[in-house]
Structure 1
Amino acid sequence: MSAPPPPGFYVPAVLFFNEHEELDFPSIKAHILRLAQGGVTGVLIQGSNGEAQLLSREERKETISFARKTLNENGFNNVLVIAGTGAQSTRETKQLCTDAKDAGATYALVLTPSTFPPQMSPDNIIRFHREVADASPIPTMIYNFPTVTAGLDLDSDTIATLAEHPNIVGTKLSCGNIGKTHRLTSRFPSSQFAVYPGRSDAYLHGLLAGSAGTIAALVNVVPKLHARVYQLFKEGKTDEAMAIQAKLGHGDWAISKIGGIGGIKAIVSKNFGYGQPFVRGPLKAVDPNSLQSNKFYGVIEELVTLENEI
């Protein structure tokens, strides 16, 4: 059987573009290095925050390769690269898994197709993920994110069935369901099948329920705070960890209200000195100059202040 990713905290990294919606590689490099310096266990390239579905096949390969090269050239060989390989056909998903391996990714995160929701019965979902895992040259993980899959929400029985496959090694649960997380962690050790809540507001709660950590958007903004929670958890200092966790929970809510992917880019651009807030249409950009007037931004400012103090 293939081995899952190690426990820790991972970042579904945003990609930066210029005003022409072309990839801004200097800003992408600056972002990857800040995240690595913040202690992330790994970088997810082309999760939903990476605008995967808005990139060409060549761009997907190029950004994975660029991330791996950036990490290696700067002494972060131990930071994993996971590649999002979701597509709407089984055939293309298999191709993207092969591309990910060739570009230097260690794992593939596979989103369930959602163009035809009525066709995606539990049996068909299981068949899709098994066929992809059979063909993938790197271990695969199940990406459950109902918000971007037309409401398709894999239950714990479906994921547990898939967990028996020798090349399916984990799941990212962006549904944020702690009950689902616990049902899976109580059936499978993290050394066999790693369960990662996909939200910072379920981070410590997931760890207490036996999860392997998190793969969460807010890590784009405050990686060191996530590292601190993980360290406090390992030291058994649950009360201290929970105090930071409460702030992360408010931060998760705030970035969703500020503008999701566009909001994250605006926050990073405003606070860390690189990147512009451009997104690819039909997504909507957020003007960094508008942040101060957003009632949710004060929560983010507090988190950034704490991040800079670490």
Structure 2
Amino acid sequence: MPVLIYNNPRVGYGLSTELVSKLAHNVENIVGMKDSSGNLTYLSEVIRLTKDIEFKPFTGKDTLIFLGLCAGACGSVCSTANGLTKEVVEIYQLFKEGRYKEAREAQMKFNPARLIQDKASFPVATKDMCNILGMNVGDPIKPSLPSEQALLDEMELRMKKLRE
């Protein structure tokens, strides 16, 4: 079964670029990686160290879709794609069509709607976004706490502005 390595140093377990390269070169079912570090130097090194094999690196930071693609990432694994699918896909499609300025502008327009989610915890922020968009995914489960109404109002405002 194909497997992606997941680098998420925010939880205290970052993977070195050397370890990622070693795993990618020696474990045949490891086919790529989601990098949620937000560190473009790190991502660029993973891309450089694995360019000689069939390995697909993805950004894991929704605010770095465009820059990740510029660095050589295959795409992005985005929590916001659960609700803001059209907007996430638009950045990717514009880039793949060679419309780089438009892709960058789409990313810049998108970022405020994603950055406000940093004021909530995850996965609560993703549930909040989906609920605001009418997807009715329910309340967070404990120990996660619901977001304050003021934050929900700001999230709704930013998503509305994104879709204008």
Short-chain TM bin: 0.7 to 0.9
Give 1:273 deviation, angstroms. 4.4
Structure 1 residues 249-268: aligned runs within 5 Å: 249-268=111-130
**CA deviations over 1:169-216 (Å, ceiling 9, x no partner):** 111101122111111222334971110110111111010111010001
> Could you say which residue in structure 1 is the equivalent of 2:110?
248
Could you tell me which residue of structure 2 aligns to residue 298 of structure 1? Answer: 157
Could you tell me whether the CA contact under 8 Å between 1:203 and 1:245 is conserved in 2? yes
1:143 is matched with 6
Please state how far the C-alpha of 1:299 moved relative to its aligned partner: 2.3
Q: CA RMSD in A?
A: 2.2
Measure the CA separation in 2 of the matches of 1:181 and 1:200: 14
Match of 2:33 among 171, 194, 199: 171
Residue matched to 2:58: 196
- Given the alignment of the two structures, is residue 280 of structure 1 paired with residue 141 of structure 2, yes or no? yes
- How far did 1:256 drift? 1.4
Q: Match of 1:274, SS?
A: coil
What are the residue-to-residue correspondences of 1:1-310 with 2, within 5 Å? 138-148=1-11, 151-164=12-25, 165-189=27-51, 192-276=54-138, 278-286=139-147, 291-292=152-153, 294=154, 297-303=156-162, 305-306=163-164
TM-score (norm 2): 0.87
Q: Following the alignment from structure 2 to structure 1, what is the Cα–Cα distance between the partners of residues 95 and 60?
A: 18
TM-score (norm 1): 0.48
How many Å separate the matches in 2 of 1:141 and 1:161?
14
Q: Contact 2:119–2:151 at 8 Å: present in 1 too?
A: no
Identity %: 26
- Retained in 2: the 8 A contact 1:263–1:285? no
- 8 Å CA contact 1:203, 1:214 repeated in 2: yes
Aligned partners of 2:137, 2:83: CA distance in 1, in Å? 13
SS of equivalent to 1:172: strand
Secondary structure of the 1:211 match is coil
CA contact 1:141–1:171 (8 Å) conserved in 2 = yes
Q: What is the rounded CA distance, in whole Å, between the counterparts of 1:222 and 1:243 in structure 2?
A: 16
Distance 1:266 1:289, change over 3 A: farther
How far has the Cα of 1:147 moved from its partner?
1.9
Counterpart of 2:82, as a letter, is N
2:35/2:59 contact within 8 Å kept: yes
Question: 3-state SS of the aligned residue for 2:50?
Answer: coil
How many residues are treated as equivalent by the alignment?
163
**CA–CA distance in 2 between the matches of 1:190 and 1:222?**
34
- 8 Å CA contact 1:254, 1:300 repeated in 2: no
CA distance in 2, matches of 1:259, 1:300: 18
Q: What is the DSSP-based 3-state SS (H/G/I as helix, E as strand, rest coil) of the residue aligned with 1:142?
A: strand
Counterpart secondary structure, 2:34: strand
SS in 1 for 2:32: strand
Distance 1:184 1:262 in 2: 30
Does the 8 Å contact 1:145/1:153 carry over to 2? yes
Which has the higher Rg, Structure 1 or Structure 2?
1
Counterpart contact for 2:132–2:156, Cα < 8 Å: no
